[in-house]
Structure 1
Amino acid sequence: MEEIQEKNLDCDTITKLEQVVVTILGEDKATFTLRDRNSGEILYTYRGGHLMRPASNMKILTGAAALAELGLEYRFKTEIYIDGNVEDHTLNGDIYVKGYGDPTINEATLKHFAKILREYGIHHVKGKLIGDDTYFSGETLPPGVDDEGETHYYGARISPITMSPNDDFDASTIIVEATAGNFGEKPSFTVIPHLCGLQISNEAKTVDKNTENTLEIRRINNTSQIVITGEIPEGEKAKVWVSHQEPTKNTLLFFRELCKGSGIRFEQEEGIDIGTTPKHAKLIHTHESRSIAEMFSIFMKLSNNSIADIFLKTMGKQKHGIGDYEHGLKVVRAYLEKQQIDFATWQFADGSGLSHHNRLHSNGISELLYVLQKEPYFQNFYESLPVGGNINRLVGGTLKDRFLEPELQQRIFAKTGYIHEVNTLSGYLTGKSGRDYIFSIMLEGREEGIPFLDEGLKAIIEVV
């Protein structure tokens, strides 16, 4: 094993921590750093400078940079323009929706947009409904998304014009829920909030209640076709978040349906398009999202990939005038440099940690967690972390089903991370002694790494 750096821990404690690494975490699988929370000094590190895939621990960097560079009060805009005159309640021209990345737009927001148009006196539209999604550039599909992830919420495409099906803010998705029927029948299904231009083919069937549930709901890659296949036992349900194929167009299609429901008729049945808002177009409404401070807890506790990459692209646009991954990551690097974090060897691909091309080390993650404590936005950051063993989903977040033992309550505030064969956990803990620490553990090469990580952290808490 490599040399251990230590300070203020006795030899017996060091030996016990080393045993945790060897017997639980795995010598060739783990990197682990433990710091004193008050001084920031490294008390123990094992391969602390070894580069590992961070998975969603990448959100610690992206989130901290967003709080610093965009600010707690930053709000995402969406603008509604018209290009043409309105006569006798008829718009002789086009409606433009210009997006700036708001991940919180939902059915209620779009209904409000329709109401604004109606109140403006528009009952009939001769032109098109056009989406201006030029605020972001580059690939919409996050880096590293595989064929499986491309159709699921965690790999959803990133667009300045998007919508979420509920208050989890999984942008660019809809929810499809299937319910078993009678034996031999196809299950019924519902879509929240709307198909948004996607199509569903239901090829599944209901089987005996004692049969295995093999139901699958997924979108066929690079298409707008969702298929429901397999078998669902009587009395059961299944719910899946399915990503949009074209977030801008899918959002506009739903918006047009809501406009129709509000009494606004479009002359052109296929009148959806993508374009740039003309300079002479008239702005008739600006919508602002809730603030970053208000959405940050959802982002971190539920480990929301879409928000991470929206933050990243927005930082790139705000600081460098280009809303893509490359320029967003430039902002993250500048932020780390400002915080004097040693990130010289780190590698970045995205803001969420979904990509397997990201590389960080536990010494640096734990150092950032230490220096964050002096920042004015730290309380917002800290309160956004999942709380181990708290079964309230909006408190425990991705740790709500872990560390449930009573003696572990209120001891672990940390960001989880998972991609294939990678499990990470970094944050703040209180040891059995009552002393406060900062820690970062990263595991690679285990198909099911959570039990090893959790047992390791429990043992660490018992030792310190």
Structure 2
Amino acid sequence: MGSAHRFYTRGLGLFLALSLAACASHPGARYAANLDQVLADPALQGATVSLTVRDAESGAALYQHNPDSRLIPASSLKLLTTAAALDVLGADYRFATEVLGDGAQQGERLQGNLYLRGSGDPSMQAKDYRELAAAVARTGIRQVMGDLVLDDTAFDDQRLGVDWASDDESLYYAAQISALNISPNDDFDAGSVLVSVTAPAMPGAPLAVRVSPENRLMSLRNQGRVGTTDSLQVGREHGSNLLLVSGALPPGQARRHWVSVWEPTRLVADVFQQALAEQGVTVQGQVRIGQPTAPAARVLASHSSMPLAGLITPLLKLSNNNMSEVLLKAMGRKTANAGTAAAGVAAIEGFLRRQGLSPQGLVQVDGSGLSRRNQISSQSLSDLLLVARKQPWFATWYAALPVAGDAQRMTGGTLRYRLQGTGAVDNLHAKTGSMQGVSSLSGYLRAADGRRLVLVMLSNNYRVDGARIKALEDRVTQVLLQ
């Protein structure tokens, strides 16, 4: 009996020793205690975190915490939208904007309608519409006897995403979605205008307000005055294009605000109509919005965007919501001839299935991640990051991700101020996500030993300031760098 007991004891000890050795040799063992400590931070009390760390080469799980919990990803969802777009549309895809005419041209008269037809190009600017107008003028047309028709029917008329927050409505990052767009800047913030406010030197004087692109659609109620403090507020009245400027700005100071437009196709109509007039082209009829181009109309002028491979850089670096929504509907248009968010989501699910991934763990209703109905787990996002590395477009996509600690805006993007002076600089390429009570970090990390990792951290329902959660994401990154 004693002999048997001694044998059992020695056997148990050997088993425990082997088990401990196996655990110590597991590639993720060195991370576990420190990552557990990060997730035990009081800032996450009552919150839900889904964290997955995997070896980028083998796909092996190195650390997991609630890996299958579906959470709101915020802008990390753009990883899925852009990856699918590169697959469905192709890296060489270009958006086309065309001017067409029906009816005969008799001398300087077009005996019919003039159509402006869009496919969603988010990079169109006022100068591009001026170039289209100049091209029309080069055909010899000076009078359009019919109407100016704005054909934005490539997409549906649902201007906002599902369950977008109403208090975001006038903000540029919640701009309305259209197949005819105009952007006020090179960031391609389509569907918004840039409101520049300057305070003259005289105390109490009205603030000077300028809107770009210049247009006749937006009206202004300027109650702003020169004062001693900065209490400036710039917004838009619900359901209209009345800009509201109030508060104060100290003498000599200037501020810029981006404000979304109500019905962006109408802004395009106004800018293009003015561009035609500058070229001496007048339209005798009415301006009609949202009607299809006549089948017999012929192309008079056209403009192509840069390839999608170029467009995804500002999209991912700066987390551009409107561009993401355009890509979603463009995918739906291509795969189902329906420029709707639902058709776009179905195209994304098709992409996942082609990659051998199940869409069952995904709930997606928009392209940008702005809706709180979106849900995905860190495991599912890590699956995407792994299969993306095998795609022909991966190098382009990877280069478009924000890079930690790189101060160049179009390199560092939304990570340019984070993890500066640490080993993560230039080694973390990832997408960030932020909403009230939601934070995410999803991407690739090169550790000190050269090992490449996939990292996805989704945090929901925390009550602290979001900066504290971002700091925890940075701590996770630094643990993995060791």
Class of the TM-score when normalised by the shorter of the 2 chains? over 0.9
The correspondence of residues 44-443 of structure 1 with structure 2, limited to 5 A, is: 44-181=63-200, 182-208=202-228, 211=229, 213-268=230-285, 271-443=287-459
Task: Please tell me the residue identity of whatever aligns with 1:293.
Answer: A
Going from structure 1 to structure 2, the CA distance change for 1:460 and 1:112 (only over 3 Å counts) comes to closer
Gaps of 5+ in 1: none
Going from structure 1 to structure 2, the CA distance change for 1:196 and 1:385 (only over 3 Å counts) comes to farther
Larger radius of gyration: 2
Q: How many residues align?
A: 456
Query: What residue in structure 1 maps to residue 26 of structure 2?
Result: 8
What is the Cα deviation at residue 221 of structure 1? 1.3
Deviates more, 1:407-416 or 1:315-324: 407-416
1:355-410: CA deviation from partner (whole Å, max 9, x where unpaired): 00000010111121011111100001100100011111000111112111243311
Going from structure 1 to structure 2, the CA distance change for 1:459 and 1:78 (only over 3 Å counts) comes to closer
1:202-241: CA deviation from partner (whole Å, max 9, x where unpaired): 1111102xx2x22111111111211111111222222111
* Cα RMSD (Å): 1.9
Deviates more, 1:103-112 or 1:270-279: 270-279
Alpha-carbon separation, structure 2, partners of 1:23 and 1:271: 59
Going from structure 1 to structure 2, the CA distance change for 1:34 and 1:28 (only over 3 Å counts) comes to farther
Alpha-carbon separation, structure 1, partners of 2:136 and 2:170: 33
1:72-113: CA deviation from partner (whole Å, max 9, x where unpaired): 001111121112333341223221111111111111110111
Gaps of 5+ in 2: 1-22
What is the Cα deviation at residue 436 of structure 1? 2.1
What is the Cα deviation at residue 150 of structure 1? 1.4
Task: Please tell me the residue identity of whatever aligns with 2:123.
Answer: T
1:164-211: CA deviation from partner (whole Å, max 9, x where unpaired): 112111111111110112210111012122235111111111102xx2
SS in 1 for 2:360: coil
Alpha-carbon separation, structure 2, partners of 1:175 and 1:10: 48
What is the Cα deviation at residue 324 of structure 1? 0.1
Greater than 6 Å deviation, 4+ residue runs: none
SS in 1 for 2:111: strand
What is the Cα deviation at residue 12 of structure 1? 4.9
Going from structure 1 to structure 2, the CA distance change for 1:87 and 1:205 (only over 3 Å counts) comes to same
Query: What residue in structure 1 maps to residue 9 of structure 2?
Result: none
Task: Please tell me the residue identity of whatever aligns with 2:81.
Answer: T
What is the Cα deviation at residue 411 of structure 1? 1.9
Task: Please tell me the residue identity of whatever aligns with 2:368.
Answer: S
Query: What residue in structure 1 maps to residue 36 of structure 2?
Result: 18
What is the Cα deviation at residue 456 of structure 1? 3.9
Alpha-carbon separation, structure 1, partners of 2:477 and 2:452: 12
What is the Cα deviation at residue 343 of structure 1? 3.5
**What fraction of aligned residue pairs are identical, expressed as a percent?**
30
Contact 1:431 1:461 in 2 (8 A): no
Alpha-carbon separation, structure 2, partners of 1:434 and 1:12: 16
Contact 2:153 2:290 in 1 (8 A): no
Deviates more, 1:342-351 or 1:451-460: 451-460
Alpha-carbon separation, structure 2, partners of 1:377 and 1:20: 35
1:49-69: CA deviation from partner (whole Å, max 9, x where unpaired): 111100001100000000011
SS in 1 for 2:434: strand
